[in-house]
Amino acid sequence: MKVLVSGSRGLIGSALVRDLAGGGHSVTRLVRPSSKTGGDAAIWDPEKGTVDCNGLTGHDAVVHLAGENIAGSSWTPETKSRIRDSRVGGTGLLCETLSRLTRPPGTLVCVSAVGYYGDRGSEILREDSPPGEGFLSEVCREWEEATGEAARKGIRVVNLRIGMVLSAEGGALAKMLPVFRAGAGGRIGSGEQYVSWIALPDLVGVIRYALATDSMEGPVNAVAPHPVTNREFTKLLGRILGRPTIAALPAFAARLFFGEMADELLLASTRVEPAKLLASGYRFRLPDLEGALRSLLGK
């Protein structure tokens, strides 16, 4: 299979490219003009609305992972604009370009996020659950709608709604580790908010599965089958690391430090079930949090 991958330098993209190449597949990276990359590459510039159409030609599938980091800084109006444009605008540009190709790819796997559901307490959320409210929910809805041009062209589109990706090499867990190892980790807010997560090896496996499973399309919850509360996550990580977890971050302090981002990322509760994956027969390598953390941390 010949696969085009955007966001190939990120945490997920790097792991996916290694996995695809190791499985004998041909990978083309979709990169910015200023990027330096070895091997095959196609050029695009989402801000300028340009794509190298010739570089997109001849692929069997596309995995679209590119987008501004939502947890990179406080959500100023400028940051929120970049987040929305990088996801909605970039996805629309890519899909419009793919739809114009003489031979478009058969499959597009495009990431979305469980932020689609908003803050829903203990409600169990499946792919047919309605969207929530707030900035992230709006972005995710528009993000998924931006793949419509590809779907209308007959490309099989899979919108992966990804939870918190766990890896010791990057992302949220890697940022937590120094704090927890110093004994300064603890719950955030009440700690009762649900965290829907997935270990990086499973996320790569889900993407590979989505590429290979012709019956899979539309929204797919890419999360492990056992979400936990923030309190449970905190206690378990501390126990595995052998460190105390009593340094709680009150909700008011989280809002003081992070503003709107605190309510939508740190304090929101999303209890998501991977209903489509389980019904289709996908088998998670790391389905429970303790096993996942011990595997990722070598404990």
Question: Residue-wise pLDDT tens for the chain (299 aa)?
Answer: 999 999 999 999 999 999 999 999 999 999 998 776 666 899 999 999 999 898 999 999 999 999 888 876 678 899 999 999 999 999 999 999 999 999 999 999 999 999 999 999 999 999 999 999 999 999 999 999 999 999 999 999 999 999 999 999 999 999 999 999 999 999 999 999 999 999 999 999 999 999 999 999 999 999 999 999 999 999 999 999 999 999 999 999 999 888 888 999 999 999 999 999 999 999 999 999 999 999 999 98
Domain 2-165+197-224+272-286 has CATH 3.30.420.40: no
H helices present in the chain, as ranges: 11-22, 53-56, 77-84, 90-100, 135-145, 148-152, 171-181, 200-212, 230-241, 251-258, 260-261, 275-280, 289-297
Block residue for tokens 């429970």: 288
In the beta sheet, which residues pair with residue 195? 228
Pairing of strands 271-272, 218-222: unpaired
- List the chain domain ranges: 2-165+197-224+272-286
